[in-house]
Amino acid sequence: MLAVLLMFTIARCDSGTFSDSVSQGDALERTNDLLSPPGGQSYCASIDAECDVDRNGRNDLIVTWDQPGAISVVVDADLGKVHNLSFGQDGPARLISAHGATSHVGKTHSVLVCTTSKKGSGPGNEIEVRSYPQFIKERVYRQPAEFSSVDYGHSSAILRNIDAFDHLAIGSPSLRYSPGGVVIPDAQLVCGIVEVTTLSEPAVTQVLKGLVPGDGFGSALAAIADINADGYADLLVGAPDGNSSDYRGGYVTLVSGKDASVIRRLNRTDLGLRRESRIGSAVLSVGDIDGDALSDFAVTAAGALDLGAVVIVSGKSAKPLFTLRAPKSSEDTLETFGSALALTYSITPQRIPLLVIGHPSRPVSSASGGEGAVYLYSMVDGSMRTELLSVDLDCQLGSVLSSLPPRDNREGVVFVSCGHHVMSYRAHLSTVGAKSTK
């Protein structure tokens, strides 16, 4: 039974559970707004800030809470105005992610694209398209019948096209052969796939496969503005478990959003990294950093040998612009540095682009069990400007990050998950030039 809950609230968060390590003017300044899950202790699973589901010209936030599955639509990205949507008693066992999009089925209207993990021994993960604000199920996507997978829809992205239909990208990095839908014990692992399908009728779906089985192709997805000038937004695909000779240590594929053809692939040599880099653990479009009129992008390399790195890559030349390294810490585990990425802007007249990097497994306080950190890096010179540390138990600060796109982000706002809550911060810079806190 479908349940739709309406709630408009504002919560204030006055606890001093976070610390900014830099006091000379650079800071992530917390606002007084705090978003909590409706009716439970759910964890934040995803945040989408790239949509305008109420179609009023201002972007909204789509916040996913994992168990029991619920979605908070934050109207106009104002954490004080929240529309909570519940799946009811017949809902999924767990909600993995949700995006806002525009559907062209029947008529042009807003939808929520929800990746769910089903209860019991059903078909596994599904992707539901539900109308907004009615939250009525319109369509369901399931894994290809010849495969079995526990991670169908492990990653997903919406390719938003100007004067064209929105496309949905679905990543399934771990598939096993399952002829006729029969699951074979110890069935052979096959290449991960990414499906790109139109949110229209008739739906047109293109499928792209990884290079070799087990390379994690489709583990991370992100839309990027049109790179190959075909009029469609394109797609970044991460494959962090690459294990073939040329792609050992992972790789990133730039894919055409029009026909799912490969524009280019980048491996460890292209990015100046080492063998066990786990390239493509996360990917993000960061806008035009180098001034060549094409969007550039960030690639996380979470491998232990590279000690935590995020590489900023030119969209035009595919060459690294600079590499961002994790701050050194004697107690640190660096495998989650860069597992979440977001782009924001400084509150200065220059509006400096800033990359926000999450490091949710960083141990911060042995006394309190605090865990998680968020770092702010300048996209002008690659310097780290400030860090935000958690001293709360079971927080995993920065496991999910998001921000409004440039046209809407007038105040340098970034949204940060911390356990059962989502908080908003503003990015302040004292100067434009470099200042490292390493």
Instruction: Say which CATH number the domain at 113 has.
Output: 2.130.10.130
Question: How many alpha carbons fall within 13 Å on the CB side of residue 430?
Answer: 11
Q: In total, how many domains does the chain have? A: 2
Answer yes or no: do 228 and 322 share one domain. yes
Tokens of 169: 């990208």
State which residues of the chain have pLDDT below 70: 1-25, 32, 89-90, 119-124, 145-150, 162-164, 176-189, 275, 304-307, 329-334, 365-370, 391-394, 408-410, 431-438
CB 61 within 8 A of CB 98: no
* End residue of a domain, out of 308, 340, 372: 340
Q: What is the pLDDT of residue 14?
A: 33
pLDDT value at residue 162: 64
The answer to whether 403 and 377 are in contact (CB under 8 A) is: no
Question: Are residues 123 and 188 located together in one domain of the fold?
Answer: yes
Residue 61 shares a structural domain with residue 206: yes
pLDDT attached to residue 435: 40
In whole angstroms, what is the distance from residue 280 CA to residue 297 CA?
11
Give the pairing type, strands 27-35 and 421-428. antiparallel
Q: Are residues 130 and 76 in the same domain?
A: yes
Do 403 and 346 lie in a common domain?
yes
- Judgement on whether residues 300 and 408 belong to the same structural domain of the protein: no
The last residue of a domain, from among 307, 340, 373: 340
Question: Are 280 and 414 within one domain?
Answer: no
Which structural domain range is residue 177 located in?
3-11+43-340
Question: Pick from 29, 34, 41, 37: which is nearest to 12 by CA?
Answer: 34
Cβ-count burial 237-250 (b if 16+ within 10 Å, e if not): bbbbbbeeeebbbb
Using DSSP bridges, classify how beta strands 384-390 and 370-378 pair: parallel, antiparallel or unpaired: antiparallel
Q: What is the pLDDT of residue 399?
A: 92
From edge to edge, which strands make up the β-sheet containing 279-287? 279-287, 296-301, 309-313, 320-325
Predicted confidence at residue 180, as pLDDT, reads 52
- 213 and 315 assigned to the same domain: yes
Same domain membership, residue 271 and residue 237: yes
- 3-class SS of residue 306: helix
Residues 202 and 302 occupy one common structural domain: yes
Q: Are residues 300 and 326 in the same domain?
A: yes
* Together in a domain, 198 and 220: yes
Domain C-terminal end among 304, 324, 340: 340
C-alpha dist (Å) from residue 396 to 32, 170, 288, 354, 359:
20, 26, 31, 22, 8
